[in-house]
């Protein structure tokens, strides 16, 4: 039998939702879901393994152009004439040049052009000649952005074009933030889950320091990864359940103090999405509140504003969650505003 036939007979494909149920049943079954296949607006399928070797064409029913294979440690490889090989409790990938990923988390076919790692390069490009502000909207996936825009929760940002950008695996705050500030994948910067804090490479803050740009890094109530510029922390002083209003005030102060580079992290969308769900009224109200803050910032900032997210959030039984290989977690909006106009 040909390799293709063996694969067709032996690969057990289960629908994505069934895969998720399995996963919730317990640790034992977790590794059965060895690999997820997505594109930038849907979860296509999960593949549980019984297989020897198979190619992507064996298991994806529709035509596709580019594809990226992504590993459990955040490795990213362009798919090129490679095959997948089930070994033990994981699926590996080897391409025709012998380049491999030992434990594949998933594959994204027809990925967006953009990546959250573009943030580093865009900041670096603009900061040479002008002021730059980066607003990190934690847990603001593209699907939430779209829903908010269509339902009146983005009265300000709806006026601007948002591109789709791919986050990193795992789509959690540490890994997403590290990718944004270093322009590198988790494989390169060493931060691939919630557990790591030490960057293996320099961040954009080092660049800003070297260029003698006065810099403010404005965080919520805790530091996420260790950076060359210490974050200014903001506690929920008025006890409204969110640090966003305090972060907003800190941004206004940082503008008034004449900073040339401001990096600020709004946590509220993620918090509300965890508690109530990514498309809940509470999460949408958070998005609307932060939209109003951005409306307050853009006219008084003499420079470029870049807005993106570390990851999105998917619906879960008791609200929302992230950290899985799914489009809701991995696809985020990416917006550049230069003095009120969109930058393409
Ligand atoms: Zn986050
Ligand atoms: Zn979260």
What is the b/e burial string over 261-271, where b = at least 16 CB atoms within 10 angstroms of the residue's CB? bbbbbbbbbbb
CA pair distance 151, 145, nearest whole angstrom:
10
Tokens of residue 309, six digits: 């997210």
- Does the domain at residues 114-342 carry the CATH identifier 3.40.720.10? yes
Separation of CA 194 and ligand 2 centre (Å): 10
* pLDDT at residue 179 tops 50: yes
CA pair distance 249, 265, nearest whole angstrom:
12
* pLDDT at residue 174 tops 80: yes
Query: Is there a cis peptide before residue 170, judged by omega within 30 degrees of 0?
Result: yes
Q: Domain locations in the chain? A: 3-109, 114-342
Q: Please, what is the average pLDDT of the chain?
A: 90
Closest ligand to Cα 138: 1
Q: Residues 6 or more apart from 152 whose CB is under 8 A from it?
A: none
- By the CB criterion, residues less than 5 angstroms from ion ligand 1 are 138, 173, 270, 310
Supply the pLDDT for residue 225.
Answer: 96
The residue with tokens 């580093």 is: 120
Tokens of residue 247, six digits: 């972060």
Separation of CA 343 and ligand 1 centre (Å): 25
Separation of CA 270 and ligand 2 centre (Å): 5
* pLDDT at residue 136 tops 80: yes
* Chain-centre distance for alpha carbon 37: 17
DSSP string covering 69-131 = EEETT--EEE--S-EEEEETTEEEEE-TTS-EESSEEEEEES--SEETTHHHHHHHHHHTTSE
Q: How would residue 87 be classed by pLDDT, with cut points 50, 70 and 90? A: confident
Q: Residues 6 or more apart from 121 whose CB is under 8 A from it?
A: 183
Separation of CA 139 and ligand 1 centre (Å): 5
* Chain-centre distance for alpha carbon 104: 18
How large a percentage of the chain has pLDDT more than 90? 80
Q: Are 193 and 321 within 8 A, CB to CB?
A: no
Q: Are 218 and 196 within 8 A, CB to CB?
A: no
- Strand positions, DSSP E, the chain: 12-14, 33-39, 42-48, 53-54, 67-71, 76-78, 83-87, 90-94, 100-101, 104-109, 114-115, 131-137, 163-166, 215-218, 261-266, 303-308, 314-316, 319-321, 331-338, 341-342
* Chain-centre distance for alpha carbon 320: 15
* pLDDT at residue 27 tops 60: no
Q: What is the pLDDT of residues 192-233, one digit of tens each?
A: 999 999 999 999 999 999 999 999 999 999 999 999 999 999
């Amino acid at each position: 039998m040909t390799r293709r036939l063996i694969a067709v007979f032996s690969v057990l494909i289960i629908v994505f939702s069934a895969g998720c149920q399995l996963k919730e049943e317990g640790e034992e079954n977790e590794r059965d879901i060895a690999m997820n296949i997505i594109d930038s607006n849907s979860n296509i399928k999960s593949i549980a393994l019984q297989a020897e070797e198979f190619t992507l064409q064996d298991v994806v029913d529709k035509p596709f152009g580019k594809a990226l294979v992504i590993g459990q440690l955040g490795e990213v490889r362009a798919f090129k004439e490679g095959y997948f090989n089930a070994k033990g409790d994981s699926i590996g990938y080897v391409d025709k040049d012998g380049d491999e990923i030992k434990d594949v988390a998933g594959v994204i076919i027809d990925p967006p052009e953009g990546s959250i790692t573009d943030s580093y390069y865009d900041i670096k490009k603009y900061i040479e000649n002008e002021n730059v502000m980066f607003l990190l909207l934690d847990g603001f996936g593209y699907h939430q952005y779209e829903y908010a825009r269509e339902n009146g929760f983005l009265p300000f940002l709806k006026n601007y074009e948002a591109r789709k950008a791919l986050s990193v695996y795992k789509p959690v705050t540490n890994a997403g933030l590290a990718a944004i500030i270093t322009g590198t994948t988790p494989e390169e910067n060493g931060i691939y889950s919630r557990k790591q804090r030490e960057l293996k490479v320099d961040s954009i803050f080092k660049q800003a320091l070297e260029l003698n740009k006065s810099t403010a890094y404005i965080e919520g109530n805790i530091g996420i990864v260790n950076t060359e510029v210490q974050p200014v922390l903001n506690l929920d002083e008025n006890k409204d359940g969110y640090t966003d209003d305090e972060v907003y005030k800190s941004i206004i102060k940082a503008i008034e103090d004449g900073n040339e580079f401001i990096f600020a992290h709004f946590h509220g969308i993620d918090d509300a999405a965890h508690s109530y769900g990514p498309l809940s009224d509470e999460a949408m109200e958070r998005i609307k509140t932060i939209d109003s803050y951005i409306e307050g910032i853009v006219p008084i900032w003499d420079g470029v504003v870049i807005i993106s997210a570390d990851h999105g959030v998917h619906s879960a039984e008791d609200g929302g969650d992230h950290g899985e290989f799914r489009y809701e977690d991995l696809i985020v909006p990416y917006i550049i505003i230069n003095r009120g106009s969109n930058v393409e």
